């Protein structure tokens, strides 16, 4: 059980790091917009890079695709 005397202090150091990271994230504005990024990730800018789409011009990509 003596290992706990080492592991718990290490746990506390990690706690400090976690809080530090969190505060950094807050300061750099990552929590300012909680809705946008969830949508942003779905909007691909990389259609031409998807295999099979390389040669298709962007505009005629999805004919009749209505949602």
Interface residues toward other proteins, by CB under 8 A: 1, 4-5, 8-9, 11-12, 15, 18-19, 22-23, 26-27, 31-36, 39-40, 42-45, 47, 58-65, 67
27, 34, 43, 60 from 40: Cα distances, Å: 21, 11, 5, 23
Nearer to other proteins, 34 or 51 (CB): 34
Nearer to other proteins, 49 or 59 (CB): 59
Quick check: 19 and 11 in contact, CB under 8 A? Answer: no
Maximum C-alpha span of the chain: 68
Smallest separation, CB 51 to other proteins (Å):
19
């Amino acid at each position: 059980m003596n290992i706990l005397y080492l592991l718990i202090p290490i746990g506390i150091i990690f706690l400090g790091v976690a809080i530090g990271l969190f505060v950094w994230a807050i300061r750099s504005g990552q929590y300012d917009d909680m809705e946008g990024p969830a949508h942003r990730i779905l909007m691909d800018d990389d259609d031409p890079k998807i295999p099979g789409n390389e040669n298709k011009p962007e505009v005629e990509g999805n004919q009749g695709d209505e949602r």
